[in-house]
């Protein structure tokens, strides 16, 4: 394994030579030796980095041979290696849901995982930790990385433990636990210094860069600058242009934080030259951004704004939406400080639009799982928290109003006082307007499903509390369930399942009217609530939904397409003279939806007439719906969706 580690380090400096040595090594190792799989994995990873698709395809049969080995342990090891490569491929393409799907597909028992060689347990837990961080599951990320540290120690190779300790420091830093972050980065630095001769310059610089980041978060900017400069000195000897550009960007950021804007501009100019020379667009964008905001802070607003817009344009071209949104936010802050309020508001608007989109895309699965786990008590607690936040904002607005009145009394003499009072009134009015907007955003976010952007159960609670609906069910209610959704997840992965849910949500919205409420009810279920009480209108809407969903397949990100359809239960209310509680109405459409599934799916069933003496009799009648319909106690109708195409590529 030491020879493989040496080749991995060589790849950083001389990729062609590393590939030659790796191919030569593979030729001398027995086919089912674990070292052969390690060499195969490294070779595939190098090919992925180089985007050599033809060479990658040539390696796939070798992985298939491992996965199909008659020895269960070898087959498991081959499957882990292959799925980790799939994770790496999707991560390089920034397709995070697909990357997480590759990890989830591994599915090892505790015994199987413990039986893996320590190097593979380290890799697996490191990737799991990264995926957990991307979903916001920081506790899970910590647990995975602690397991990775133990596995790295077992390999006897210090660089792996150092890498994981450095990552742990970042994880704790994200959580705001600066003491734990500092402890882990200190351990990584101590290991680095004790094993400096065994580490590449880049590996040492990475640890020092992480140390600088932790020190920056702790407010120790002078210490952070020294750490970055130490890393820069190491890499200057090594000639690593791209990483030097990043470090210069970090130093420029410290210049911004300490308001040493001339230094920030000088460092950014150096970083920009290196970024252009190395064709590293990320460094080029960062340098333009830092230089631009420094110029804005120095009063060169138009020039600085134009330079920040160059950075945002690069991020847009490269599809780096996270960096792009952060760029808009920081531009807004600096323009606001410089007095360009119109420009600041425009930048903040761009930021909010992007941030909302990113929250749905990058964290949708984690938030969806959380939404499904949370019970009604948690939802009530969240509502209470929102109300407290609104109360606090209201209190702040009232405090500003009282402050304005005090100034009015103090300054109530002379024309100059009137001018000042008008200025204060305008600022207070603007502050109150922004507070009201903030409250509206908070309320809207609490009622939105993060995956589809549709309403959620919070929104339904608010809608049912409206005056016209408090006494019982009024209007038309539709419960929609995606047919064979589990098969989509099993065959194509959870990322594909998420894509199907998003697409069906959009089709539901297109089939309904502007005033209709379309909600994500949970899992693969959706709810539609309208004011329509005419049975013909409700039936027409149900047929539109069936047709809209099923008439065309969903094209997945990998090029495959899958037919989709839904089963639906719906009813219009009031059904009888006595009002039906909303709980009973939901139960009714749920029973009707399951009737649609039981009769073959891709259809809708509705209860159009009810002749029961009271709403309490409704569940019993639905339990024997066919007999009740023959007796004339109720009337049911069935609507069918269009014929589905077969799945394809």
- Domains of the chain by residue range: 240-362, 370-446, 457-640
* Residues of the chain scoring pLDDT < 50: 11, 360-381, 402-429, 431, 435, 438, 442
Sign of CA dihedral 432, 438, 444, 446: negative
CA 407 to CA 508: how far, in whole Å?
54
**What pLDDT sits at residue 647?**
58
User: Domain 457-640 sits in which CATH superfamily?
Assistant: Reverse transcriptase/Diguanylate cyclase domain (3.30.70.270)
DSSP state of 643: P
**In angstroms, what is the C-alpha Rg of the chain?**
30
Q: Which residues pair with 518 in a beta bridge?
A: 528
Of 177, 258, 242, nearest in space to 209 by CA: 242
Alpha-helical regions (H) of 512-571: 535-550
Of 33, 36, 41, 30, nearest in space to 8 by CA: 41
Q: Mention every residue, 6+ apart, whose C-beta is less than 8 A from residue 494.
A: 97, 100, 101, 104, 365
Q: Which residue is listed with tokens 């600096």?
A: 334
Length in residues, the chain: 649
**What pLDDT sits at residue 418?**
41
Alpha-helical regions (H) of 239-280: 241-257, 261-277
Architecture of domain 240-362: Alpha Horseshoe (1.25)
**What pLDDT sits at residue 262?**
94
Q: Which residue is listed with tokens 């990584």?
A: 188
**What pLDDT sits at residue 176?**
76
Return the HEC string of 40-55: HHHHHHHHHHHCCHHH
DSSP H or E run through 438: helix 415-446
Q: In what order do the strands lie in the sheet with 566-573?
A: 517-522, 525-530, 475-482, 566-573, 603-610, 634-640
Long-range CB pairs of 179-182 (<8 Å, 24+ gap) are 181/214, 181/217, 181/218, 182/214, 182/218
Q: Tokens in use for 200? A: 């590449």
Q: Give the Å distances, CA to CA, from 297 to 231, 257, 265, 270.
A: 28, 11, 11, 20
pTM over 0.85: no
**What pLDDT sits at residue 41?**
86
């Amino acid at each position: 394994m030491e020879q493989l580690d040496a080749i991995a380090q060589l790849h950083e400096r001389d990729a062609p030579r590393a590939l030659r040595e790796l191919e030569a090594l593979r030729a001398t190792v027995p086919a089912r030796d674990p070292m052969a799989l390690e060499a195969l994995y490294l070779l595939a990873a190098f090919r992925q980095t180089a985007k050599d698709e033809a060479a990658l395809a040539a390696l796939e049969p070798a992985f298939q041979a491992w996965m199909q080995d008659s020895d269960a342990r070898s087959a498991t090891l081959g499957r882990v290696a292959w799925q980790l490569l799939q994770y790496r491929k999707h991560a390089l393409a920034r397709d995070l849901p697909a990357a997480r799907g590759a990890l989830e597909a591994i599915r090892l028992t505790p015994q199987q995982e413990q039986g893996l060689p320590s190097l593979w347990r380290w890799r697996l837990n490191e990737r799991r930790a990264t995926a957990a961080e991307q979903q916001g599951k920081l506790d899970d990320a910590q647990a995975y990385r602690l397991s990775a540290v133990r596995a790295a120690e077992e390999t006897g190779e210090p660089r792996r433990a150092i890498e994981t300790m450095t990552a742990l420091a970042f994880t704790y830093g994200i959580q705001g636990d600066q003491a734990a972050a500092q402890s882990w980065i200190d351990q990584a630095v101590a290991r680095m210094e004790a094993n400096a001769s065994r580490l590449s310059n880049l590996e040492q610089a990475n640890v020092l860069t992480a140390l600088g980041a932790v020190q920056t978060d702790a407010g120790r900017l002078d210490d952070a600058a020294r750490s970055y400069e130490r890393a820069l000195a190491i890499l200057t000897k090594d000639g690593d242009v791209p990483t030097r550009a990043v470090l210069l960007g970090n130093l420029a950021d410290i210049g911004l934080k300490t308001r040493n804007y001339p230094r920030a501009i000088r460092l950014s100019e150096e970083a920009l030259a290196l970024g252009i020379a190395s064709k590293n667009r990320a460094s080029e964008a960062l340098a333009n951004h830092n230089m631009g905001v420094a110029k804005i802070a120095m009063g060169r607003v138009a020039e600085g704004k134009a330079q920040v817009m160059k950075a945002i344009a690069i991020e847009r071209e490269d599809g780096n939406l996270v960096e792009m949104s952060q760029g808009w936010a920081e531009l807004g802050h600096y323009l606001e400080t410089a007095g360009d309020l119109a420009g600041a508001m425009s930048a903040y608007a761009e930021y909010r639009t992007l941030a909302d989109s990113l929250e749905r895309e990058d964290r949708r699965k984690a938030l969806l799982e959380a939404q499904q786990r949370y019970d009604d008590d948690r939802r009530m607690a969240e509502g209470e928290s929102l109300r407290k936040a609104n109360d606090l904002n209201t209190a702040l607005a009232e405090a500003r109003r009282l402050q304005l009145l005090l100034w009015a009394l103090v300054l109530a003499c002379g024309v100059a006082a009137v001018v000042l009072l008008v200025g204060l009134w305008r600022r207070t009015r603007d502050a109150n307007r922004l507070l009201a907007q903030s409250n509206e955003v908070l309320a809207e976010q609490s009622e939105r499903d993060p995956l589809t952007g549709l309403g959620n159960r919070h929104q339904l609670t608010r809608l049912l509390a409206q005056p016209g609906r408090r006494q019982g069910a009024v209007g038309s209610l539709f419960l929609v369930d995606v047919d064979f959704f589990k098969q989509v997840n099993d065959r194509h992965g959870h990322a594909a399942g998420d894509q199907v849910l998003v697409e069906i949500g959009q089709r539901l919205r297109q089939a309904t009217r502007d005033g209709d409420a379309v909600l994500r009810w949970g899992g693969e279920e959706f709810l539609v609530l309208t004011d329509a009480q005419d049975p013909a209108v409700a039936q027409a809407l149900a047929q539109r939904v069936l047709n809209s969903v099923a008439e065309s397949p969903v094209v997945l990100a990998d090029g495959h397409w899958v037919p989709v359809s839904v089963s639906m239960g719906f009813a219009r209310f009031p059904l009888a003279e006595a009002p039906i509680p909303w709980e009973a109405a939901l139960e009714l459409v749920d029973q009707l939806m399951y009737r649609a599934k039981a009769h073959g799916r891709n259809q809708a069933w509705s209860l159009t007439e009810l002749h029961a003496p009271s709403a309490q009799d409704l569940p019993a009648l639905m339990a024997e719906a066919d007999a009740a319909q023959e007796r004339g106690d109720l009337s049911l109708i069935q609507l069918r969706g269009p014929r589905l195409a077969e799945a394809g590529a």
